[in-house]
Amino acid sequence: MNEVNPFETAQRQLDKAADVLDLDHSVHQALREPMRTFIVNFQVEMDDGSTKTFKGYRVQYNDALGPTKGGLRFHPDETLDTVKALAAWMTWKTAVADIPYGGGKGGVVCDPTELSESELERISRAYVCAVSDFIGPEKDIPAPDVYTTSQTMAWMMDEFSKIKGVNAPDVITGKPIGIGGSLGRGDATARGVIYTIREAAKELGMNLDGARVAVQGYGNVGFHAHKLAEEQLGAKVVAIGDAEGAIYSDDGLKHKKISNNMKEHGVFAKDIEGTEFLGDGDKGNAELLELPVDILIPAAIENVLTAKNADHVRAEVLAEAANGPTTPEADEILYENGVYIIPDFLCNAGGVTVSYFEWVQNRNRYYWSKSEVYERLDKKMTKAFADVHERAREEDVDNRTAAYMVSIEKVAEAMKLRGWV
């Protein structure tokens, strides 16, 4: 459970930027709450023949810039406030990346580690059935997030298409390539993270060749961030961690070795020769966050950097691949200590950017090459980074506040043009 309520964090971050912007009161009030919130309860038959009721959420935070867009999480600790926070951050994310979407998010309260493949399929289909009137290619477009995969998206797209009697690949993104997914979507979030680190290093005069990196969280984003930090930046990933624990090697953990080991043993790479085990679960991750590294990449969930450990962070750059990894208290400490933060909704905007490319390709029934996707993604991320970095310098504010300022202005303008405020 989160000790810090993520939605309160999102509101506090907004308030801070609204203050610097001297934002119109009516716009500020409108942006403090989601436009629409759906709570659904639905029944699913389990493998043992029993029927279980599951709770799901979908929050459409703001759609002034376009249909709402954002992932779906399957998580045992999912709460409405977490989904509201994530939907708010999606609103700022799509705005900073300059893609024509609003922000949304969804979730189902369940523990995927205790469910079979067929139970997961039935949950995915039942969730879509429950929200099918609220989502759609021109309304609200889900995508993968924590514990959901391209297969989850495939089942959901299929179910929506059946319910509506149309073939609607554009209702959801992050699909497998064979049914309308985009090349380059799989590692897009991590790739975007790497592009922003590259840009930050240029600004800071930091040499990335051999730079020491720690990655906390080893799901889709952490796994690919490790690979790309090596391949694209020439950096040395010295520590990785996930729910099972964290490992360290001063010489660098080779991605290939780690992924081969994980494939072989089916679990996180705990026992690899030549690596030091930092500890199980939370303990290992806590150590990882405080290692003397150049770049720290939290790539899991919210609230990993708090008032308790922020002062011990020794990285020069904090690249927030996860959504909401830093609490407002930690934010202040890190800023004062001179840590260069690439804020979450800028840093991890690569995923939704390629989701947008996927949707564009689906709507045109015309598909791009991988290099086209990478090139366009690089352009978007580089521009978004420059907008935020410059704004922070001009206004003498931290990068997160600057990112909020850039995004709020775009959303506020759209709201005004539509005559809402």
Active site residues: 105
Q: How far is the CB of 146 from ligand GLU (least distance, A)?
A: 8
Q: How far is the CB of 189 from ligand GLU (least distance, A)?
A: 6
Q: Does residue 355 interact with ligand GLU by CB under 6 A?
A: yes
Stretch that binds ligand GLU, among 68-76, 110-118, 302-310, 396-404 (CB under 6 A): 68-76
* Residues in region 168-227 near ligand GLU by CB under 6 A: 173-174
Q: Does residue 317 interact with ligand GLU by CB under 6 A?
A: no
Q: Does residue 298 interact with ligand GLU by CB under 6 A?
A: no
Burial 65-87 (b: 16+ CB within 10 A, else e): bbbbbbbbbbbeebbbbbbbbbb
Stretch that binds ligand GLU, among 64-72, 124-132, 197-205, 259-267 (CB under 6 A): 64-72
Q: How far is the CB of 191 from ligand GLU (least distance, A)?
A: 13
At residue 59, the 3 state secondary structure works out as strand
Tokens 């979730």, located at residue: 107
Q: Does residue 407 interact with ligand GLU by CB under 6 A?
A: no
Terminal Cα distance for the chain, rounded: 36
Length of the chain: 421
Beta pairing, strands 212-216 & 36-45: unpaired
* Residues in region 131-170 near ligand GLU by CB under 6 A: 143, 145
Q: 34, 67, 71, 184: which one contacts ligand GLU (CB under 6 A)?
A: 71
Stretch that binds ligand GLU, among 244-252, 253-261, 345-353, 371-379 (CB under 6 A): 345-353
Q: How far is the CB of 264 from ligand GLU (least distance, A)?
A: 29
For residues 72 and 140, give the distance between their C-alpha atoms in angstroms, rounded to a whole number: 12
Q: How far is the CB of 42 from ligand GLU (least distance, A)?
A: 22
Q: Amino acid identity of 138?
A: E
Beta pairing, strands 51-62 & 36-45: antiparallel
Dihedral of the alpha carbons of 219, 220, 226, 230, in degrees to the nearest 10: 170
For residues 302 and 326, give the distance between their C-alpha atoms in angstroms, rounded to a whole number: 7
For residues 236 and 207, give the distance between their C-alpha atoms in angstroms, rounded to a whole number: 12
Nearby residues of 82 by Cβ (< 8 Å), 6 or more positions away: 2, 6, 7, 107, 302
| Smaller CB separation from ligand GLU, 16 or 69 | 69
| Smaller CB separation from ligand GLU, 148 or 401 | 148
Q: Does residue 78 interact with ligand GLU by CB under 6 A?
A: no
If one counts every other C-beta atom within 10 angstroms of the C-beta of residue 260, the result is 13
Number of residues that bind ligand GLU (CB under 6 A): 13
Stretch that binds ligand GLU, among 107-115, 156-164, 254-262, 346-354 (CB under 6 A): 346-354
Q: Does residue 68 interact with ligand GLU by CB under 6 A?
A: no
At residue 70, the 3 state secondary structure works out as strand
Residue nearest to ligand GLU (CB): 71
Q: Which two three-digit tokens encode residue 90? A: 């999606």
Q: How far is the CB of 233 from ligand GLU (least distance, A)?
A: 21
If one counts every other C-beta atom within 10 angstroms of the C-beta of residue 298, the result is 30
| Smaller CB separation from ligand GLU, 145 or 320 | 145
Stretch that binds ligand GLU, among 21-29, 49-57, 67-75, 118-126 (CB under 6 A): 67-75
Q: 130 with 42: CB under 8 angstroms?
A: yes
Give the residues lining the site for ligand GLU (CB under 6 A).
Answer: 69-71, 93, 143, 145, 173-174, 323, 348, 351-352, 355
